[in-house]
Structure 1
Amino acid sequence: MADYTVKDFSPAAWLLLPAAMVSGAIAGVALGGGWVWLGIAELPLLALVDTALGPDHRPRAPLAGWFADLLLVLQLPLVAALWCVFAWRVGPAAAGLQSADWVGLVLSTAFVTAYGALPASHELGHRDDVFRRKVGNLLDTFLLAPYGVLSHNHVHHLALDTLVDAETARRGQSVYSFMIYMGWNRHLESWRVEAARLRRMGYSPWSWRSAVWRGFAQYALVLMAVAAIAGGRGVGLAVLVSVLALLMLTALSYSQHYGLTRLPESTVHMHHAWNHLYPLTRGGMFEITTHSQHHMDIDVRYWNLTPLPDAPQMPSAWLCLLMALLPPLWLRVMRPRLADWDQQHAVGAEQSLARQANAAAGWSQPVAETT
């Protein structure tokens, strides 16, 4: 086991990256023209710089809890501002857009909505107080998943790496297939969790008390605000942005548990999640990719999560998002990693489950780890 006590720390300044990402996209949309591509252009830039910087296994620099929470909450007004500028651009300012600009505008807004909202909403969704959970819920609303925390907290954290978990990609499954699979099944899981909660309270699953109906109402209010600025065209594009953002965020889940196996209801250990321990990944995603300890103890706040170099490792999460778009490249990277996981990490029944997963994927022969 490695010694994780070191004299220096990973700078807290990296945690300003999510706000910088959204701010950059706001500026690009406001400037118009080719600048509307700035948001989506952040992805390859982040992947390149993050990979060049190399792994960062240092603990996070000490951070005051109130400031760490402020960084999370700040994402809500920033994402809301992005949507306001987007609505203005596709409405009153649409004359300044050329044909290709519409594509860049939608892709940029979707990508930055996904990764400007998801990491913060994920952390806030694990909190107990009403205010922080509500901020997380409002962030998820832009992602067309205002009740996604129900599935994440009550299904994923119990069933990770098993066949019943919508957030665990199977071996051989492409990111495109997984996007549809997770996007739809996470909604179904949330509806079932909420229906069960209401039944325990003696209410109908169709009751107005349902978090599902509140979520739909919140999203309807967002669309009404867009309509007031940009009309019907703006509403249609806003829905497209939300759908694309929802699909884009599934790519992160794809790389965090891809191909891993676990016996249902068994204890979660550090080898049950992939970790992306790179500086722009950790800071830009509020340490969501310091993933092993998060699953072993969900009560640890993001700035106190401990990087575990002995846990299964992945490249930069930003790079993984790009590699996943090319399935042959993804398999070239992942099959050796999974072969190593099967040999070095899987224990007991997990080894049998891994062999079954390989057979289901059509992987007749293991692939040796490459250097």
Structure 2
Amino acid sequence: MAGKRSGSPDPKRHLWVLGLIAPMSALLPSQLVLYTKLEVFWWIGPIIVLIVIPVLDWVVGEDGTNPRDEDYELLSKDRYYRWCTYMFLPVQLSGLIIAAYMWSGDALSVVDKLGLAATLGFVSGIGINAAHELGHRVEHLERWLSKIALAQSAYGHFFVEHNKGHHARVATPEDPASARMGESLWEFLPRSVIGGFRSAIHIERERLKRKGHRWFSVHNHILQAWAMTAVLFGALLAIYGLRILPYLVLQAVIGAALLETVNYVEHYGLLRRRRPNGGWARCSPRDSWNSDRLVTNIFLFHLQRHSDHHANPGRRYQTLRTSEEAPQLPAGYATMIVLALFPPLWRIIMDPRLLEHYAGDVSQANIQPRKRERILAAYEYRAAA
């Protein structure tokens, strides 16, 4: 029997529950500060994501194993993997409630409250990834859970834009969530945030029109998600008072910014091929950056196997595969997020890797339009007439 190999067709099976450490970090600060007297632990979220995970990625290394084709159905139907994402939500919301209580009191300094807001923001950003996994499913329960997971970050339009916008236009100049070569993170963030919001509104308006529904309808996915945020924030404000509002807003902004920074990393400079008729070719593994760093993959439910996710969006996270065709990042997402904060360092590391992916032909890349001639000239190319 196949199970005799290791008790499971997935050698990482029992590691996936470690993904709950991320939302649990919102429950830890008060206890860590109480027992260590170190107030730096109010900032445990950024510490884990930006320092601890990158270090562990380098120490633990890569995992390039793929699930066997014959195990696909078994893994897909195993509800254990679903519960690993389901459990993210109650832990995430519990942390937010505890944080709101602390923000409402006078026991913490403003700096400590900001640290706690940053921790909740990082949890919120990782929570969007849990929403991302759930939002791709066809089951109604999981799609509703996806919207609930997005409530903390007030980023409900992501449910529509990611599935119907980003996946259709990924790795093309038309996609606001696909970063361009020569575009810094700080240029990308407003373009992606604003462009994604506009796209979601347009996509949902057209969907509702096709189905004969008005914008202000119970069938509107965006309004459903926003209503969940309104209920969540409204309840917290009613219980704990308006003084928590700045911290609620801050953690939501940080969560959304973390998501968009990951978007920046995932498709930087990559461009899909053109068909003979001028249309874009189907998305393939070569159109997303991958990383097989084990630790980050566990924390992000295999998000780093992004190439297979875009080529086969119906695959659940436990069945995603790494591919030799996919371009590989030099480190895990957690490390790459840090590098992206410093554009000159990012370009030094990533531009040569992008050029290598296209066998030296930089004209195949998705280039920032206002920098196109300069970049082509730098690599001894001429812009097309």
1:248 paired with 2:248, answer: no
Of 302-311 and 155-164, more deviation after overlay is shown by 302-311
Contact 1:169 1:258 (8 Å CA) reproduced = yes
Q: Deviations over 1:297-326 (max 9, x none)?
A: 111111011111442001111100111111
Contact 1:19 1:74 (8 Å CA) reproduced = yes
Q: Deviations over 1:312-343 (max 9, x none)?
A: 00111110011111111111111111110121
Alignment of 1:21-40 (within 5 A): 21-29=22-30, 33-40=39-46
Cross-structure match for 1:106: 117
Contact 1:29 1:89 (8 Å CA) reproduced = no
Alignment of 1:63-82 (within 5 A): 65-82=78-95
Of 261-270 and 321-330, more deviation after overlay is shown by 261-270
TM-score, length-normalised on structure 1?
0.88
Cross-structure match for 1:298: 313
Cross-structure match for 2:378: 365
Q: Deviations over 1:28-75 (max 9, x none)?
A: 146554321111110211011112222211126975621000001111
1:342 paired with 2:358, answer: yes
Tell me how far apart the structure 2 counterparts of residues 30 and 139 of structure 1 sit (CA, whole Å).
25
Cross-structure match for 1:3: none
Alignment of 1:277-316 (within 5 A): 277-314=292-329, 315-316=331-332
Tell me how far apart the structure 2 counterparts of residues 164 and 307 of structure 1 sit (CA, whole Å).
27
Partner SS state of residue 281, structure 2? coil
Query: How far off its partner does 1:208 sit?
Result: 4.9
Cross-structure match for 1:133: 143
Tell me how far apart the structure 2 counterparts of residues 287 and 338 of structure 1 sit (CA, whole Å).
22
Give the letter for the 1:321 counterpart: I
Q: Deviations over 1:57-100 (max 9, x none)?
A: 11269756210000011111011011101101101xx3221242
Tell me how far apart the structure 1 counterparts of residues 62 and 194 of structure 2 sit (CA, whole Å).
34
Partner SS state of residue 343, structure 1? coil
Q: Which residue of the other structure, out of 241, 249, 262, is the alignment partner of 1:231?
A: 241
Contact 2:181 2:367 (8 Å CA) reproduced = no
In structure 2, the gaps of 5 or more residues are 34-38, 381-385
Tell me how far apart the structure 1 counterparts of residues 170 and 27 of structure 2 sit (CA, whole Å).
35
Contact 2:153 2:256 (8 Å CA) reproduced = yes
Cross-structure match for 1:118: 128
Cross-structure match for 1:52: 59
Q: How many residues align?
A: 354
Aligned identity (percent) is: 24
Partner SS state of residue 87, structure 2? helix
1:275 paired with 2:290, answer: yes
Contact 2:26 2:120 (8 Å CA) reproduced = yes
Partner SS state of residue 365, structure 2? helix
Give the letter for the 1:341 counterpart: H
Alignment of 1:213-232 (within 5 A): 213-232=223-242
CA RMSD of aligned residues (A): 2.4
TM-score, length-normalised on structure 2?
0.85
Contact 1:151 1:189 (8 Å CA) reproduced = yes
Tell me how far apart the structure 1 counterparts of residues 366 and 187 of structure 2 sit (CA, whole Å).
22
Partner SS state of residue 378, structure 2? coil
Partner SS state of residue 362, structure 1? helix
Query: How far off its partner does 1:155 sit?
Result: 1.3
In structure 1, the gaps of 5 or more residues are 1-5
